[in-house]
Amino acid sequence: MALLDIKDLTLRFGGLCAVNQLSLEIEEGSIRSLIGPNGAGKTCVFNCLTGFYKPSSGDMVFMGTSIMKKKPHLITHMGMARTFQNLRLFKQMTVMENVMSGMHCRTNAAFAGAVLRTQSQKAEEKLIREIAEECLDFVGILDKKNYMAKNLPYGDQRRVEWARALATQPKLLLLDEPAAGLNKEEKARLINLMRRIRDERKVTIFLIEHDMGLVMKVSEKIFVIDYGVKIAEGTSKEVRDNPRVVEAYLGKEETEDAV
Amino acid sequence: MAEKKQKKFTNPFGTVVESLYDLFDKKAPRYLLMTIMTAFLIYLPLSSSRFTQEIMTNLFFYVVVCLGLNIIVGFAGLLHLGYAAFFAVGAYTTGILSSVYGVNFWLTLPFSIIAAVIAGLAIGAPTLRLRGDYLAIVTLGFGEIIRLTVRNLDITGGAMGLIGIQRPVLFGIVLNQITHFYYLFFILAVIAIIVSYRLHDSRLGRAWEYIREDEDAASAMGINVVQIRLYAFIIGSAFGALAGSLYAAKMTAISPESFMFIHSVMILLAVVLGGMGKIPGVILGAIIVTLIPELSRDIGQFRLIIFAVLLLILMLYRPQGIWPERQGISTKL
Ligand SMILES: Nc1ncnc2c1ncn2[C@@H]1O[C@H](COP(=O)(O)OP(=O)(O)OP(=O)(O)O)[C@@H](O)[C@H]1O
Ligand SMILES: [Mg+2]
């Protein structure tokens, strides 16, 4: 059984059909990409998966459970984590505090623990810090843990977001255009990081990305959507040679790169 | 835009506070300062007039309610316009149990907290799911409803209010001197400060901050936004009710006029003035709001005008409140 199974997913905004009868499967331990031109509905798919948008019809089954009616925090609790296309860090907080947020759903101290500082609360705080530091170390910015998130350069802010998502200890990681705004060197490091996340942490990755070079390097299988409809799926070679994809996507990509 | 605002606070007042903030940010000076202040406040009643003690007791009371409201407004970022209603809930719970049923004061406290939790749940659970503005309207309405209800019920003594609330007894001593209440409220204020700090530096406190910073990102991190907000609302309400119970014991008489909208506004003012979410700032706000009217009778009359002007200046020059924001690399962690 696939880790994630999307069946006939449809999302409408009034007359606009942002996602149209989309079906796809993500197998455990894989890296899969979702590509498509601007406005194709890629981010909408992620927003449906993570509970931010209510799909109009269809079904999404994650680890054998339907997540159609689940709230975002419960979906995260089940083991799905995401990053945002436009960075959504807690800007006025430190890098460390940002990453500690990921551990919220794996811990449970509340009022009494906080006020009485019980043994279990202290142990939990220690664990939160340890995991957060481990995640920061994994993405390579442990030395910046005491910086205010807003004071970091853009590339490092991206890494804080990955560390934060990893700290929720996910089974499936959704990355929305993680390479946007990164330079060549940072992109190479990202490819390496994604492979390590999959191999060392056993996290399945579902990726939205515009950088075709990066997508083809890292993912074994690619889904292409246009106007919310899936127009192709397959290996990078199959997708590249598909005339519908060339028409819908690759043709447009050149004009985009020119901008 | 934001940068422009930041640069504006080169006013001397801001600089003084900034250096004060540095002092508070480092642990050793903070503890030293706190020890000196505590020693001074414990000693104060031995060498001061009843009048001074009365003002200080009032200040401690304000510190408690301001810190309570700060949990709701400052920590969780929820606008609450009817906070006085929650200390009315506490004061009347203690008042009725004590004067009508003769229950020992200390035993009324758990009931007061339970009543506040129930009221907090009744108001918070439905409204906290909705957008922020609804909470402001509902709490505003709740404030008035509570005031009108206690005004019109027999058990609450109607417009006359309740009289004959029993004095608390502690270690065989009947607490009936201002000095007794000075110490009682002082202890309560210290507890409120410790609880506030501990909440702030905890999983719950961080969750409030995450939600305030970015609600969507917080829920993507697995935080149940509605539940965590409800926690803040209920904890803050319980704070208020506890302060209300002690207020009832000190006054031995309460009336609906003790819990008018203007009190909610003054408490909110203190929190906003000092700096929402920042504990020393909120204490500073409480000090300003309670001490300015006492400086002289003449000023007392113009209290509202002075506060209005203060608030205007603040909104223009320091929208984040008097107490500074955390800057740059934090030394906290
Ligand atoms: N909340 C919303 N309300 C109405 N329309 C929306 C909403 N969110 C997205 N859309 C529309 O749905 C379509 C798909 O948007 P989406 O953000 O998923 O595109 P995308 O594939 O992620 O594009 P990009 O590559 O630019 O990020 C767009 O036409 C967009 O305008
Ligand atoms: Mg997008």
**Tens digit of pLDDT for each residue in B206-238?**
999 999 999 999 999 999 999 999 999 999 999
Residue A158: its chain B contacts at CB < 8 A?
none
Question: d(Cα B200, Cα A115) in Å, to the nearest integer?
Answer: 10
* pLDDT mean over A163-189: 93
Report domain B51-332's class.
mainly alpha
How close is the Cα of A44 to the center of ligand 1, in Å? 6
Secondary element (H or E) of residue B183: helix B178-200
**Any atom of ligand 1 within 6 Å of the Cβ of A42:** yes
Quote the distance between the C-alpha of residue A95 and its chain's center: 19
Phi, psi for A4 (deg, rounded to 5): -130, 135
pLDDT tens per residue, range B241-268 = 999 999 888 888 787 777 777 788 888 8
Question: d(Cα B222, Cα B211) in Å, to the nearest integer?
Answer: 11
| Contact call for B202 and A114, based on CB within 8 A | yes
Question: Residue B327 — pLDDT band, cuts 50, 70, 90?
Answer: low
Question: Residue B329 — pLDDT band, cuts 50, 70, 90?
Answer: low
Say which residue, B306 or A54, is predicted with more confidence.
A54
* Strand partners for A24: A6
Secondary element (H or E) of residue B134: helix B132-152
Say which residue, B132 or B81, is predicted with more confidence.
B81
Domains of chain A: 1-79+170-259 (3.40.50.300), 90-169 (no CATH)
pLDDT at B63: 94
Question: Residue B331 — pLDDT band, cuts 50, 70, 90?
Answer: very low
**Any atom of ligand 1 within 6 Å of the Cβ of A204:** no
**Any atom of ligand 1 within 6 Å of the Cβ of A13:** yes
How close is the Cα of A96 to the center of ligand 1, in Å? 32
Say which range, A27-36, B20-29, B262-271, B272-281, has the weakest mean pLDDT: B20-29
Q: Point out the residue among B198, B328, B331 whose CB comes nearest to the CB of A151.
A: B328
* DSSP-derived 3-state class of residue A83: coil
* DSSP-derived 3-state class of residue B324: coil
Question: What tokens were used for A212?
Answer: 């075709």
Residues B279, B271 contacting (CB under 8 angstroms): no
- Residue B41: is its pLDDT beyond 80? yes
- Residue A251: is its pLDDT beyond 90? no
Q: Which atom of ligand 1 is nearest to the CA of A13?
A: 4
- Residue A37: is its pLDDT beyond 80? yes
Question: d(Cα A79, Cα A157) in Å, to the nearest integer?
Answer: 23
pLDDT at B8: 41
pLDDT at B12: 55
DSSP, residue by residue, B31-76: HHHHHHHHHHHHHGGGGS-HHHHHHHHHHHHHHHHHHHHHIIIIIS
Give me the percent of chain A exceeding a pLDDT of 70.
Answer: 96
- Residue B17: is its pLDDT beyond 70? no
Q: Where are the domains of chain B?
A: 51-332
Q: Point out the residue among B199, B203, B330 whose CB comes nearest to the CB of A146.
A: B330
Q: Each residue of B305-327: b (16+ CB within 10 Å) or e?
A: ebbeebeeebeeebebbbbbeee
pLDDT at B2: 40
**Any atom of ligand 1 within 6 Å of the Cβ of A11:** no
